[in-house]
Amino acid sequence: MSFCTNLDCLYPHNPDPARFCTSCGKPLLLKDRYRPLQPIGRGGFGRTFLAVDEHLPSKPRCVIKQLCFPEADGESFRKAVALFRQEAVRLDELRHRQIPHLLAHFEQENRLYLVEELITGQTLAQELQQNGVFSATQIWHVLKDLLTVLQFVHSRQVIHRDIKPANIMRRLPGGDLVLIDFGIAKQITATAFLHTGTTIGSPEYMAPEQTRGKALPASDLYSLGVTCIYLLTGISPFDLFDLTSDRWAWRDYLPSGMILDAKLAETLDKLLHNALSQRYKSAAEVLQAMNLEAQLVKKKLINSLNSEVGVDYQKLRDLLAARKWQQADEVTWVLMCQALSKPIGSYFFSGDIERFPCEDLQIIDELWMKYSRGRFGFTVQTKIYESYNNDYGQFCAAIGWNLPNSTSPAQRLSFSLSAPIGHLPSHLWAGGTQLWRHINALAAKLATC
């Protein structure tokens, strides 16, 4: 039986139970089970559309990629099919929560199809357009999340080839970054049909060696570096590269007042080096250079929520994941009281912070940073405080704590992700009149934990 595979027919034109295409009269089911709903993207080497799996009782939605090839002789197409099967097997082996699961692959009417898990959320390109440029803390989290998944991908001898903000999705709920759209269709086409001049990837994010047709793990790292400087500046990578001096001039385009850690800047520069000999060779090398081992331990700690003193942090995690910022702020105070074995609603002094259990402080801090995409958390607050030379008044003004004076605990808080960076969690738990002592104690405690 023949099926409708014309992208222009893939809309649900009529609710007929038989689901025949009103344009060509052919059934709309692919491989007897997948019903296309609507196109969601197309390019020179593939088409993507949203579909539903009619075979399963829950009728889950999925993504189907139809790989398109130019007219060629039968032998070339047979070679493309063989390569497609090989690449599908490799994709199937990439079982990682930050990579869409491959659900099926098949051939139908001289077309090739990949069926993948549907990831709901926003791409980093959409986030940039909606919320503006990323902070240094947010870039830290982007690097941390993506370097771990790239380490996994490269260990399976797979190279993504097209890392850019539009191919990085933040999964909702949860906030994990997911690497989408591996450049397989173009790779198969270039190889099977002997298009030796074909480059795979997006030119503005592509490493020099990749433009010459040779992609390496270091090429993905270069693209990740370009992605980061674009997110930091909002300026096209084409404009961030100074051709006259043959260097990246991204520092010249940082927003006024942005504070960038020297180690982060150094890491980005090495990711972006044109010469392979001076660039990072592997994701593991970058992780080591950024001293992320401790951060990865913290991440495991968050996943287990393993309190040092038996406090249950699941409610805080759930509230933050649901973006219920005000309730999360209230629960944070309650949990801090529990961690210190003090009555609920007790005020804390610098001595209380000094004896706060390290694992519990890290869990609270990292949960806030994770679910706010790096905008909120104790670490964010202490870095901002230090950037103002420990001036508490300037610190409060920077994070939007509109204090009548620097010794008052009264705050007019905004419980929204659009609040200033560092605005939450509040310090309503701070006791006494010398409130700067609490932020000093927090900074010292986080440094030693």
**Given the residues 53, 162, 360, 365, the one annotated as active site:** 162
- Please give the pLDDT value at position 39: 82
Which residue ranges form the domains of the chain, and what is each CATH number?
2-117 (3.30.200.20), 121-300 (1.10.510.10), 313-448 (no CATH)
Any idea what the Cα angle at residue 406 is, between residues 369 and 256, rounded to 5°? Answer: 55
> pLDDT, tens digit, for every residue of 323-337?
999 999 999 999 999
- Cis amide leading into 173 (omega within 30): yes
- Please give the pLDDT value at position 304: 64
246 flagged as catalytic: no
Contact 347, 431 (CB under 8 A): yes
What residues of the chain score a pLDDT lower than 50? 1-3, 5, 7, 10-18, 192-198, 293-294, 296-297, 404-410
DSSP 51-72: EEETTSTT--EEEEEEE---S-
> pLDDT, tens digit, for every residue of 339-361?
999 999 999 998 999 999 988 99
Tokens (6 digits) for 431: 């006791």
- Which residue is listed with tokens 């593991």? 284
Q: Which residues does the annotation place in the binding site? A: 65
Q: Which residues does the annotation place in the binding site for ATP? A: 65
- Residues whose CB is less than 8 angstroms from the CB of residue 121 and which lie 6 or more positions away in sequence, other chains included: 169, 170, 171, 172, 178
- Please give the pLDDT value at position 11: 41
Q: H-type helices in 305-377, by residue range?
A: 314-321, 325-339, 350-354, 358-371
Q: What is the pTM of this model?
A: 0.63
